[in-house]
């Protein structure tokens, strides 16, 4: 029996229309440099400080309304995670719905920032960003959305300062049990043997942190299988314009990683990686202990079905730790660490659940009632000539709206309202 010898031609799309599409994509790539629409959504800086930049995304065709959403970027990763490319941008999605959309990012980290610890983000950056967004949106409570380490910082901030105007909290791909992260679990026993005096500790202290090239290398190593098989995958998808555009956008994201400040990285390394402190629901920071059970806002937690950096097993343990929250909902959605947030499948899974969640925990809009009152007062003034009376103040009341009914198939991933835990359920899970 003769063995068949495969050639690169076996990887090309077989149908004539697919070959035409593939040729068009290759020509567009060669002539114009790419297929992805990488134009950023227009935005305006509304507040800034040391490693803190708060932006408001300008509305387009739809008028803004409702409570604001604040997107919290993680350290090391660029804000492109929320605005990856047109057609696959969470920012674009929110803006197109008319949501008041904001983002906090940190700019470039340099050697002079080496002494900044996690306290800088928990005490200053995020609280200030939340207050500025609330004020800019007319005093409304804020829906805080954090991905990866941004989600962990958001939880610690909400637990440390429960008086902040937070309407709800959403965390995506934020591991709390580091022992269950495949990349870290095998080496944790070796890290504990060094007792804080190992080579890694001495290295990051000497460098003042973790430089951008090393951060990029770590993220690449986390997805080494995809990197190795990428040429084959590209050949087999030459006719899929959207797929190729997504690869281009992810490549740009990976090329824009940011460094870690030295002291912050040291805290993350010793407390999260070696000590796995957050898995117990509390973390010492400065002169205090922050407990996740102090979070009172409702919390939505996402785990990515294919996430190798923050697998579901490392994310799910946060549910029983949020015993003080009014409601805790856990969802498993398609995608890896970045894909669950802004992959092509996220448009019909993660974003759908997030829209439902924000709608459920949004406040009523008092604007129409206020306009009616003023209009009535103006008419009365015209008839009587008397000075207009000030309309009564309209109090913003938080109303818990019923979640939209969703009837997914039993095998569906994401958008599953049955996978929801109230605070009572969280307490029972934690007992």
Q: What is the pLDDT of residues 381-394, one digit of tens each?
A: 344 444 443 333 33
pLDDT for 260: 58
Domain 43-364+402-430 coded CATH 3.40.50.1820: yes
pLDDT of res. 256: 83
> Would you say 179 and 305 are in contact if contact means Cβ atoms under 8 Å apart?
no
**Sequence-distant (≥ 6) Cβ neighbours of residue 231 within 8 angstroms:** none
Predicted pLDDT of residue 154: 97
Token output for 232: 């084959």
Q: What is the pLDDT of residues 269-281, one digit of tens each?
A: 767 777 888 999 9
> What ranges do the domains of the chain cover?
43-364+402-430
- Spans of the chain, pLDDT less than 50: 1, 6, 186-187, 190-191, 193-194, 196, 200, 204-212, 214-215, 217, 224-225, 227-229, 367-431
């Amino acid at each position: 029996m003769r063995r068949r010898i495969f050639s690169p031609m076996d990887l090309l799309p077989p149908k004539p229309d697919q070959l035409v599409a593939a040729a068009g994509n290759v020509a567009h790539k060669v002539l114009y440099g790419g297929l992805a629409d990488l134009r950023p959504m227009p935005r305006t800086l509304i507040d800034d400080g040391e490693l803190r930049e708060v932006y408001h995304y300008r509305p387009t065709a739809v008028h803004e309304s409702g409570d604001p959403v604040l997107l919290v970027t993680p350290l090391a990763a660029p804000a492109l995670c929320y605005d990856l490319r047109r057609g696959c941008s969470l920012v674009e999605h929110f803006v197109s719905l008319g949501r008041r959309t904001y983002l906090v990012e940190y700019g470039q980290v340099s050697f002079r920032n080496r002494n900044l610890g996690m306290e800088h983000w928990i005490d200053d950056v995020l609280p200030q960003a939340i207050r500025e967004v609330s004020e800019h949106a007319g005093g409304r409570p804020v829906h805080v959305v954090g991905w990866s380490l941004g989600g962990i910082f958001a939880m610690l901030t909400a637990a440390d300062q429960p008086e902040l105007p937070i309407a709800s909290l959403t965390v995506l791909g934020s591991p709390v049990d580091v022992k269950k992260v495949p990349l870290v679990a095998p080496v944790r026993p070796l890290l504990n043997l060094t007792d804080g005096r190992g080579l890694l500790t001495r290295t990051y202290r000497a460098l003042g942190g973790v430089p951008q090239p090393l951060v990029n290398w770590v993220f690449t190593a986390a997805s080494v299988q995809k990197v190795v098989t990428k040429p084959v995958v590209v050949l087999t998808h030459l006719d899929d314009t959207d797929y190729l555009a997504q690869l281009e956008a992810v490549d740009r994201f990976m090329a824009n990683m940011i460094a870690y400040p030295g002291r912050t990285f040291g805290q993350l390394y010793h407390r999260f990686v070696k000590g796995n402190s957050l898995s117990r629901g509390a973390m010492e920071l400065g002169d205090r202990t922050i407990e996740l059970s102090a979070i009172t806002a409702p919390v939505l937690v996402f785990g990515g079905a294919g996430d190798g950096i923050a697998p579901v097993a490392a994310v799910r343990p946060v549910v029983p730790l949020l015993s003080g929250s009014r409601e805790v909902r856990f969802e498993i959605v398609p995608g890896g660490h970045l894909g669950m947030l802004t992959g092509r499948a996220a448009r019909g899974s993660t974003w759908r659940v997030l829209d439902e969640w924000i709608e459920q925990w949004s406040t009523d809009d008092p604007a129409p009632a206020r306009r009616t009152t003023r209009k009535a007062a103006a008419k009365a003034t015209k008839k009587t000539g008397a000075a207009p009376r000030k309309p009564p103040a309209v109090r913003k009341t938080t109303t818990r709206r019923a979640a939209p009914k969703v009837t997914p198939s039993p095998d569906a991933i994401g958008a599953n309202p049955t996978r929801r835990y109230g605070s009572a359920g969280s307490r029972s899970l934690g007992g």
